[in-house]
Chain A
Amino acid sequence: MLYAILCYHEEDVVWSWSKEQDEAVMARLAEVQGPLIQAGKMGPSLRLLPTTAATTLRKTQEPPLVIDGPFAETKEQLLGFYVVDVADLKEALGIARELASANPGGAYELRPIALYNPDQRPGAA
């Protein structure tokens, strides 16, 4: 069984951490992750940039509407996500539009990734 563990916190506070505080938290997390990697239980993990860096594609209308900022509605629920490797926001928006045409309704929030750790399981590409 695969589980996603979604991380929520106050970004004001987390992005106010000093380099030393940030590194201390990361070091504590690495201690927890170490044995999990050894046990072949760690899939990919990632850290997102702040919501100020986000762009949202509202796909409840045709053509979809590009909005600055994170997805702020509470009516819809988080159902999944993609990680795409692109040159810039324009390319990412292009992909999101293609996906939207296949599956309209709801929204895609495009958030740049600050740190990406690939799949750590044995045999994972």
Chain B
Amino acid sequence: MNEVGGIDGAWIEGALLAARPRAVGALLRYFRDLDLAEEAFQDACLRALTAWPKNGPPRDPAAWLILVGRNAALDGVRRRARQAPLPEDDRLSDLEDAETPLAERLDDSHYRDDVLRLLFICCHPALPKTQQVALALRIVAGLTVAQIARAFLVTDTAMEQRITRAKAKIGKAEVPFASPDAHERAERLSAVSAMIYLVFNEGYSAGDGDYRQRLCGDAIRLGRLLLRLFPTEAEIMGLVALMLLQHSRLAARFDGAGEIVLLDDQDRGRWDGKLIAEGLALIEKALRHRQPGPYQLQAAIAALHARATRQEETDWVQIDLLYAVLERVQPSPVVTLNRAVAVSRARGPGPALAMVEPLAATLSGYFHFHGLRGALLWQLGQRDAARIAFDKAIALAQSTAEAAHIRRNLDRLLAGAEAPR
């Protein structure tokens, strides 16, 4: 291991990754130019790679990177102005002295609005969702264009263009540099939370296992950072809890062949207990506030699944109640469909089917609608109608695992078996 002064390459990489949102956010405030801020941060990272192993790690890596990045960028501006090179390395020697007062000035309350602003410009309403995610991954999480291209299954050139276009749109738009008032801050937090959850979902559904880990990990890290800066926001606790609880199932969600394993069939012994513990702790904290929002409710539902060590122990009555609240807070046919699953387990197939039938108008092109409807009809003894529903579901399946799951049901139905409950 390449270890000097008690730090190794992996430590530096981790420190740079962790400091990135705060450092780029502060540099953006100084320069009011995204490209310049990114360049300055990049410059500071390069210097860290040589300075930190030599001098030991700084007390506050983010503050160090901000100071060095700012100086490097100012040098660059002056250099371009004079067209003459300046000596570089000897001016690094007095950094340790300069770092202390800066680090003291930059406590969490200073970072707070910087990080929020940086995240917020990635969710500009003029940007389509996919561009928001790509931009956040590039600027905030620091993925390379090639990495993002692979995660989105597009070519490097296409992704480069997408990010350039997104940056151009932001460049023309008004970037809010004034400190936000309470109302604006709440609006920004809500937009930023949605964007972080988009990044998470991009990772959650990624085909490539490495990107599932990386993108979900990035989203969780941003969520934790946001929560540290806004420690009393119940919906951010809910968002982080939701991501942790969903991510805890990663190892069980795919079989050896890379096919999706559905929740009922997952080996719960492979769920990550540490992530579950953190998720449960956060949702308990959030619920004390008695301000239920969509993230908290979804996290509370995920928590009930996580608490059941066997599928049969799932508290469906409580899940039904939570979905009922979610339906009021954030009404959508998909929420109602999910609630119907809980209703079928808690109260039987009849009431569940009554809840599902009115959704036909909006969800008739949706795999899960027909899959659930088929299962309910089968349980009610309407075998022909069940068969037709299963056929429709198979035709609409998005993955071979989804299709295979329904096909297994269909085979059992055709063999004359009783419906599983």
A→B interface (CB under 8 Å): 10, 12-19, 21, 49-53, 55, 66, 68-69, 88-90, 112-115
User: What distance in Å separates the Cβ of A53 from its nearest Cβ neighbour in chain B?
Assistant: 4
Give CA–CA (A50, B231) in the complex, Å: 12
In the assembled complex, which residues on chain A have CB atoms less than 8 Å from the CB atom of B278? 49-50, 53, 112, 114
A112 to B228, CA, bound (A): 16
Given contacts A52-B240, A69-B228, A112-B277, 6 further A-B contacts (CB under 8 A): A12-B15, A13-B11, A52-B224, A53-B285, A68-B232, A114-B274
**Which residues of B lie under 8 Å from residue A53 when comparing CB positions?**
278, 281-282, 285
* CB proximity of A101 to chain B, nearest CB, Å: 20
> What are 5 inter-chain pairs, A to B, with CB distance below 8 A?
A21-B10, A21-B14, A49-B281, A52-B282, A68-B231
Q: Is B183 an interface residue (CB 8 A)?
A: no
A113: min CB distance to chain B, Å: 8
Task: Tell me whether B221 is interfacial, beta carbon within 8 Å.
Answer: yes
Query: Which B residues are CB-close (under 8 A) to A113?
Result: 277
Q: Which A residue's beta carbon lies closest to that of B224?
A: A52
How many A-B residue pairs have C-beta atoms within 8 angstroms? Tell me. 69
Separation of A90 and B284 alpha carbons in the complex (Å):
8
Contact across chains for B227 and A52 when beta carbons are under 8 A apart: yes
Q: Could you tell me the distance between the alpha carbons of A81 and B236 in the complex, rounded to whole angstroms? A: 28
Number of interface residues of B (CB under 8 A): 28
Q: Kindly state whether residue B288 has any CB partner on chain A within 8 Å.
A: yes
| B396 contacts partner chain A, Cβ-Cβ < 8 Å | no
Q: Within the complex, what minimum Cβ distance (angstroms) separates B270 from chain A?
A: 13
The answer to whether B285 and A68 have CB atoms under 8 Å apart is: yes
Choice from A12, A19, A49, A68 contacting B18 with Cβ under 8 Å: A12
A21–B217 Cα gap in the complex (Å)?
14
B225 in contact (CB, < 8 A) = yes
A122 to B205, CA, bound (A): 49
Closest to A50 in B: B224
B206 within 8 A of A: no
Complex interface: chain A residues within 8 A of B217 (CB): 16, 18
The answer to whether the Cβ of B17 comes within 8 Å of any Cβ in the partner chain is: yes
User: Does B19 sit at the interface, judged by CB under 8 A?
Assistant: yes
CB neighbours (8 Å) of A66 from chain B are 288
Give the chain B neighbours of A88 by CB distance below 8 A: 280, 284
Tell me the complex Cα distance, A71–B34, Å: 35
**In the bound complex, do residue A52 and residue B15 qualify as a contact, i.e. CB atoms below 8 Å apart?**
no
Q: Are A114 and B232 in contact (CB under 8 A)?
A: no
* Across the A-B interface, the 6 shortest Cβ-Cβ residue pairs: A69-B231, A12-B18, A89-B284, A53-B281, A112-B281, A13-B14
What residues of chain A lie closer than 8 Å to B10, measured between beta carbons? 17, 21
Nearest opposing residue in chain B for A22, CB measure: B274
Asked if A115 contacts B225 (CB within 8 A), the reply is no
B108 CB to nearest A CB, Å: 9
Q: From residue A109, how far is it (CB to closest CB) to chain B in Å?
A: 12
- CB pair B281–A89 under 8 Å, yes or no, is yes
CA distance A19 to B15 in the complex (A): 16
What is the minimal beta-carbon distance from B76 to any residue of chain A, in angstroms? 28
Nearest residue, chain B, Cβ from A90? B284
Query: Does A16 lie within 8 Å of B17, measured CB to CB?
Result: yes
- Taking A112-B278, A114-B278 as contacts, is the C-beta distance between A13 and B288 under 8 angstroms? no
How long is the Cα–Cα vector from A65 to B11 in the complex, in angstroms? 38
CB closest residue in chain B, given A114: B274
CB distance from A68 to the nearest CB of B (A): 5
- Residues in B whose Cβ lies below 8 Å from that of A17: 10, 14
Bound CA span A114–B244, Å: 14
Q: Select from chain A the residue with minimum beta-carbon distance to B286.
A: A68
Given A90-B284, A114-B278; A15-B15 close (CB under 8 Å): no
Q: In the complex, A15 Cα to B285 Cα: how many Å? A: 20
Q: Are A10 and B15 in contact (CB under 8 A)?
A: yes
With CB as the reference atom, state the residue of chain A lying closest to B18.
A12
Task: Give the complex CA separation of A18 and B14 in angstroms.
Answer: 9
> Would you give the 0/1 interface string for B196-234, flagging 1 where the beta carbon is closer than 8 Å to chain A?
000000000000000001000100010011011001100
